[in-house]
Chain A
Amino acid sequence: MTRVRDALAGRRFFITGATGFLGTALVERILRSVPDSQVVLLIRPGRRASPMQRAAKEILKNDCFDRLREELGDRFDEEMAARVAAVAGDVATDGLGLDDAGLEAMSHCDVVVHSAASVSFDSPLDAAVEVNLLGPSRVAAAFVAARDLAEADARRGPIHFVPVSTAYVASTHQGEAKEELLDANPFTLDVDWRHEVAAARRQRGDSEAESRRPDHLLQFHKDAREELGGAGLHLLAERAERLREDWVKKQMVSIGQARAQSLGWPDAYPYTKALGERALVAQYGDTVPLTVIRPSIIESALAEPRPGWIRGFRMAEPIIISYARGLLREFPGVPEGVTDVIPVDLVVAAIIAVAGEALLHADSDDPADAYAGPSVYHVASGVRNPFRYGRLVELVTAWFTEHPLYDPDGQPIVVPEWSFPGRGRVQRQLSRASKAMSLAERVVGSLPIRGKQAEWMAALEEQHLLADRALGYVELYGAYTETDALYRVDRLIALWDRMDEDDRATFCLDPAAVDWATYVNEIHLPSIIEHARVRTTPGKSVKTNRADRARKNILSPDRHLAAFDLENTLIASNVVDSYAWLASRHLPAGERATFVADLMAEAPALLALDRRDRGDFLRSFYRRYDGAPVARLRDDGWDLFHHLLLAKSFPAGIARVRAHQALGHRTILITGALDFVVEPFRPLFDEIVCARLGEEDGTFTGRLEVLPPIGEARALVLADFAESEGLKLEESMAYADSASDLPMLEAVGFPVAVNPEAKLAAIARRRGWHVETWHKADGGAQPMLPLGPLDRRGAAARGRTSPAALTGQARRTMGGNR
């Protein structure tokens, strides 16, 4: 006899949070283990995908379903189509955002499981309030509405509600916590949840207002500029706005944490969950039959659908990975403490068993089975099968000693000895490391470096991020290791005892079933290592392969447009060099060196101006061409190219342009340099966008007639060009060296950072952009100063002979000179 399965067979489940870790496992198990069952999933419609598409992509395609897919074979798609439905909705909106059809679908369900939650321990207070606090009541409200709809239709409608909470709602006190409603718990402060909701919403408003104070806005703008340099107004504004939003979010996170801790919870998650439970019971305890499930920390599956199955990065993983990487040397905790971890499949089984029994009772005539009001089940291991912190550390250390991770050089990382320090010491250590690194970053970041050093700098920044993250973990999870609450599971075990053999085999929910050594060594660690994409093999880095793959992607016939910046992307030269070379060319020998030396002395100031605003810099610098003879400079442009620019070019860069040409890609040069300087590059490009000076009576005016595109203007020029040529930017490449080219790089599908300066190197690393390091040819001329060779044509002109050189007077001149 199989009570649970029989009770649930052919039933329909309404499930929220199905795209989450627990939700996915629940949907899979219902479909696989409950005959003829159906599920209706509440899914937030995506920007591009309908709820059903999201369900197919994010749930059915997950490897959780591999087993079911195999069992069903060809029938999988057909069966899923018949048994799985999705309705659009969101637990963060009143009424769940259900439309009539959605409510109708809900009214045909028998069981409602609410597993949607904002589980992140550092979500902003207001977001946590909307989802965790108000979510269960909203689902209950919809439950009532759906039941009314069904009853009006002379149907039964939803019968039972199973909201998923967390064991930590009872973590405000030490010692054992019973499976009872919070109101029955003497250690719960009597806080009015409505006030908390109102306060959280008001605090969002306050933080938003605070973030708009002029001094804050200025700071965001300053930070954006520091990060991106002269990237253009639009991009800076965009970045500054993002910084503001981040600031607000951070404010809301810390407000939430402070509030939670003031009431005795470790952070906002259990605090909002606890209030959510109370709000639910207070409002719907009498009208909606419900059973609360409170799991502890849910981790990878013990056996179902397969040992080790996990979705997403769970709570314990970041800590374990940081430890294995040698990044987290210490983690606070006491060896005797209990780590309350529960495999996901046990939680799923508990939900199903609870739902099954509820339906059985609802259909039963026995008064003993009558619904007696809301109740609670813990699904936790701490009391029944305690897993000591010291044992966990032992197992993890032994495992990583045997299976070390490898650093980028292919050397095994030795895991540190765990010393069980207090939380304060670890925090101090980590924040010291983080501060030292940000100082190093500031120093290095202010240097005009590019290429390899800049990449090194980006690596430093990554280390910094990791240290920061580890610090975050300690702050967040430290509190959990310090809660000494033990979650009793008497009711759960009683449920287990009531189950028959067959149900027990199918829905194992007994925490005693876990053998911790096997679970850690053979199930959990292998699974999270696989998910973390860390290096588990020795030997040299595979980084070159990644670069090769990126290059192959870029040099593919499927692409069709490549945009290039000039200075420091294709040539190691700049507008000042070019000007110095061109101008010194026509100076008397004695003045040349002084002139160039003077100009070089100005260089730092010029560089600073350039960094501040490239447009201003170019406009003011190009004034120096005022009065220069047009014809001569157009002529000299060629010599400049052949003697200076080509000598300072990056042959690999030029070869890259040509490789694009050979593949039939269109090529475009977008530069702030002047037209007569870039003219010799013309054969490399289909289009050249550059600056042009005004002309008057054969001399330059020093005023720009065509402004060079800067910052976002470059992206616009590129977009215009692509559009007029019928090309797609997502199939295009852009090559540039500095953060001021960000708009152009961001506009294309394949951005390439060439010898990136520090800021761009950091951005490229974060975004996984391809980076090229191109060098000048080793044999290229390396003049100390960009000094033009002496123009001797002036002298030549004085002794110039007419074309009729060799008759008459010319001959006498030559003869006479001999």
Chain B
Amino acid sequence: MSPRPGFVLDVDSSTPPTLFWHGERFSLEKLPEGSRVIYAPEPMEPLSDPQAAIRHALTHPEGDQEPLPALLFTGMRLTIAFDDISLPLPPMERPDIRQLVIEQVLDMAADAGVDDVELIVALALHRRMTESELRHAVGDRIYDAFAPNGLLTQHDAEDPDNLIHLGKTDHDEDVEINKRAAESDLLVYVNINLVAMDGGHKSVATGLASYKSLRHHHNPATMRKSKSFMDQHKSELHTANWRMGRLIRDAGVKVFQIETTLNTDTFPDAFKFLQKREWEWKAKDRIAFLGASKALDRVPARYARQIFHSVKAPHRMTSVQAGEVEAVHAITTANVWEQQGVVVEGQTDILTMGLPYISPYNVNSILNPILVACLGLGYFFNLYRGKPLVREGGVLIMTHPTRWEFNPVHHPSYIDFFEQVLSETTDANVMSEQYEHGFATDPWYIHLYRTGHAYHGVHPFYMWYWCAHALEHLGAVIIVGGDAKAVHRLGFRAASTMADALEMARDVVGPSPTLTHLHSPPILMADVQ
């Protein structure tokens, strides 16, 4: 039986309550009759022989590119860069796709007698991964072979000795990336393309870049012109990355791009009910839901968080393609859409969504208030093509506890951003003009980013810029069940129940609003007609 496509449900009197994520808990909400609920397509069938598929992709590249073995030779410098802990979400069960792909690349390199090989985590300004996270991503054998000899490194956007300035684009944008990667005879980049934004020229131009280079597209102006940044062709973020990617190519950096897509089989059996449609829940699903939600309600939030962060997703590979960046990426994007796309007719006055415990920036960590904003207004809001799901001036209602909590190891600059910047302004332009430079060049944040596991000092600004398009578009943002003080600091409104939130929303959009709920998991992309 082939998986069913996504669809839009019209809520009527017989529709059971709808499941909302609420951080590391869930709630069931009865949506008003006439509301719409968007369900994602069911997970696609995975590739039956991923090893063979990988081998086939490496030897049958897309676009103007020779097969990988032909690009490898004795005495060459080979660098393999790969996506960091932010992908996929949640982290996948072992073996991780990165491990499968890199093992085959290394095999081919060994066959060709290549002995200068380095692995680099393309983490841009993200936090450095821990040993166990790296072991999970590349496997113990690769880790033990490379890491102790300093051959598995993490990109350091603040290491003046290992960055190279390749030039400026015709838009006067600096292109500065990892020197080892740039000076290699071949740079292989291993992607996991969870959503349509990932991959393409963005892999190298962003993942291996420095702050000096990133600031040209990670800014409020660019993000406001990315409608959405999940849609490459209408995304200024991607346009800038493509300019840079082409400059990198023209500067002589030879990139062999490997992109992979996953199905949306996101949760293991115990949480399978999450990705089912409520009216199709069987007794087993109801029992699982009841058991899980009762248990989660009883444990303190941090244990609930630990439980969820230990969940590894069963998602499996649905496609792998390799070769020239742009050709590869076109296929990948089509595959992502095939798995995640849902056609939706027209916009809505009120968009509701339940926010989970995880975003790309808090794997094994806390979804702090800034990340809550970014997950809702940056990520979920932008999961569209064509028009936003919610009309201009409409209301976004999100459910999340939004606790005043931060991980001091991972997000030290977030704490200060929340205390010192958001307390003064929520205007992205003002932030970028008055505060960004100070945070970005702060020696203490740089110290923590380079030696520990902290996001770069400028990262919380980027999270806020990510929200810029939504903030400009929306009439109001309401968080249900959040810590009121933290919600207000974000400049949003706090409601204690969904009913209250809907009342508040009516004040903004008028008395009989239309309502659409973005159901997750699994993840979906709305093609708004």
A residues apposed to B, CB below 8 Å: 638, 641-643, 646-647, 649, 651-652, 654-655, 658, 680, 683-684, 776-782, 789, 792-793, 795-797, 799-807, 810-811, 814-815, 817
Contact = CB atoms under 8 A, between A and B. Distances in A.
A487 B143 CA distance: 100
14 contacts: A642-B451, A642-B452, A646-B412, A649-B408, A651-B408, A777-B407, A778-B403, A779-B405, A780-B408, A782-B302, A795-B144, A805-B117, A807-B113, A814-B145
Contacts of A647: 407-409
B25 to A, nearest CB: 17
B115 interface: yes
B109 A806 contact: yes
B451 A805 contact: no
B416 A651 contact: yes
Contacts of A643: 409
Contact of B144 (A642, A799, A806): A799
Contacts of A795: 144
B443 interface: yes
Interface in B98-126: 106-107, 109-110, 113-115, 117
Contacts of B528: none
A807 B114 CA distance: 7
B222 to A, nearest CB: 29
B151 interface: yes
Interface centre among B151, B405, B409 (most CB of A within 10 A): B409
A814 B131 CA distance: 20
Given A683-B447, A811-B110, A814-B145, A779 B408 contact: yes
Contacts of B365: 779
Contacts of B284: none
B271 interface: no
A800 B408 CA distance: 34
Contacts of B368: 779
A803 B149 contact: yes
A649 B411 CA distance: 13
B419 interface: yes
B148 A797 contact: yes
A810 B110 CA distance: 10
A250 B38 CA distance: 83
Nearest to B106: A806
Interface in B138-169: 141, 143-149, 151
B281 interface: no
A684 B446 CA distance: 12
A814 B141 contact: yes
B144 A801 contact: yes
Contacts of A801: 144-145, 149
B149 A796 contact: no
B117 A817 contact: no
B54 interface: no
A806 B148 contact: no
Given A683-B444, A793-B148, A777 B406 contact: yes
Interface string B408-426: 1100100110011000000
A658 B147 contact: no
Given A658-B444, A779-B366, A805 B409 contact: no
B234 interface: no
B144 A779 contact: no
B55 interface: no
B365 to A, nearest CB: 8
Nearest to B365: A779
Contacts of A680: 447, 451-452
B216 interface: no
B110 A778 contact: no
A683 B366 contact: no
B242 interface: no
A651 to B, nearest CB: 4
A658 B447 CA distance: 13
Contacts of A654: 412, 444
B453 interface: yes
A642 B408 contact: no
Contacts of A796: 143-144, 147-148
Contacts of A802: 149
B115 A806 contact: yes
Nearest to A638: B451
Contact of B406 (A651, A782, A789, A803): A651
B404 interface: yes
A111 B407 CA distance: 78
Contacts of A777: 405-408, 415
Given A782-B302, A814-B145, A806 B110 contact: yes
B419 A642 contact: no
A658 B445 CA distance: 11
Given A647-B408, A814-B106, 15 more contacts: A652-B419, A684-B444, A776-B408, A778-B403, A779-B366, A779-B406, A779-B407, A779-B408, A793-B148, A800-B144, A800-B148, A807-B110, A811-B110, A814-B110, A817-B141
Interface in B264-316: 302
A684 B443 CA distance: 9
A636 to B, nearest CB: 13
A780 B148 CA distance: 29
Nearest to B147: A796
Interface centre among B110, B415, B453 (most CB of A within 10 A): B110
A769 to B, nearest CB: 24
B302 A651 contact: no
B137 to A, nearest CB: 15
Interface centre among A646, A776, A795 (most CB of B within 10 A): A646
B148 A792 contact: no
Contacts of B144: 795-796, 799-801
A205 B415 CA distance: 63
Contacts of B452: 638, 641-642, 646, 680
Contact of B415 (A651, A804, A805): A651
A805 B416 contact: no
Contacts of A780: 407-409
A815 B110 CA distance: 11
A89 B149 CA distance: 83
Nearest to A661: B444
Nearest to A797: B148
A226 B145 CA distance: 59
A642 B406 CA distance: 15
A655 B413 CA distance: 10
Nearest to B78: A806
Contacts of B407: 647, 777, 779-781
B453 A642 contact: yes
A789 B409 CA distance: 15
Given A646-B412, A777-B415, A805 B145 contact: yes
Contact of A778 (B404, B420, B447): B404
User: Which 3 pairs, one residue from A and one from B, show the smallest C-beta to C-beta distance?
Assistant: A779-B405, A642-B452, A779-B366
Given A683-B447, A811-B110, A655 B416 contact: yes
Contact of A792 (B131, B405, B443): B131
A802 B368 CA distance: 42
B146 to A, nearest CB: 7
B44 to A, nearest CB: 28
A778 B148 contact: no
B310 to A, nearest CB: 14
A652 B418 CA distance: 12
A643 B143 CA distance: 21
Nearest to A680: B451
Contacts of B145: 801, 805, 810, 814
Contacts of A779: 365-366, 368, 403, 405-408
A795 B444 CA distance: 34
Contacts of A638: 451-452
A800 B152 CA distance: 13
Given A651-B415, A655-B416, A778 B406 contact: yes
B446 to A, nearest CB: 8
A392 B215 CA distance: 77
Nearest to A795: B144
A370 to B, nearest CB: 84
